[in-house]
Amino acid sequence: MSLGEAGQESAQEAGQESGVLRFDRRLGSMKVEPKPEEESDRNFPRNLHNAAELFTSIGHVDSARRLHATTSALLALLGTNPDGAAQHLLGRAAVCWACGHAGLPRNADKCHETAAEPRPVCAHCGEEEQTNFVRLTMAAADGGQQVVPWIEVRPKAAADHAADPPSNSDQRTRRNKHEP
């Protein structure tokens, strides 16, 4: 199953039957990028499915719910085959260990596509230290894996101004920088 497959029911419906959170197996393809000091830690969650397991096992229910909501929104959006045009934001995602938010960081315009610095700032709670970048992968036409950007629906106020030419300060609407 690819990241974009919608399935028989929406991601939101599939995950919250009877008040029980069920995390989509596709979260396994959303890789958490460890910081250098975390690379050798055997217990480090290597993907967002592992992150969901961690949050639930240590009783961080609100963080698990937030992770579920943000990843379900991504999967539902991908199921619509979005064009990434004016009503969407694209970029490199992050996960916050303080609140469970996964998505584009608050400082997305400053984050490089592959470099570790600057660290992502959580768009939900503003946490700066307890965050890691997330790399989405999906099957490529050649049978390998390709990295795809995280996609979110642009907030309504920003979407209303999407036709306006971008200013120097309006960089969150653009893809992440290619140079460090």
Average pLDDT, the chain: 82
Confidence band, pLDDT 50/70/90 cuts, at residue 175: very low
Can you give the pLDDT at residue 26? 93
pLDDT (tens digit per residue) in 110-126? 999 899 999 999 999 99
How do strand 93-96 and strand 145-148 relate by DSSP bridges? unpaired
Cβ neighbours for 152, distance < 8 A, ≥ 6 positions apart: 73, 74, 77, 88, 89, 103, 104
Structural domain boundaries of the chain?
A: 11-160
Confidence band, pLDDT 50/70/90 cuts, at residue 139: confident
Instruction: Give 80 or 16, the one with higher predicted confidence.
Output: 80
Give the tokens for residue 76: 């539902």
pLDDT (tens digit per residue) in 28-82? 999 999 999 999 999 999 999 999 999 999 999 999 999 999 999 999 999 998 8
Model confidence, pTM: 0.78
Q: Is the model's pLDDT at 161 over the cut of 60?
A: no
* Cα-to-chain-centroid distance, residue 7: 20
CA–CA gap between residue 110 and residue 72 (Å, rounded):
26
| Residue 166 identity | P
Give the tokens for residue 16: 């919250």
pLDDT (tens digit per residue) in 123-137? 999 999 999 999 998
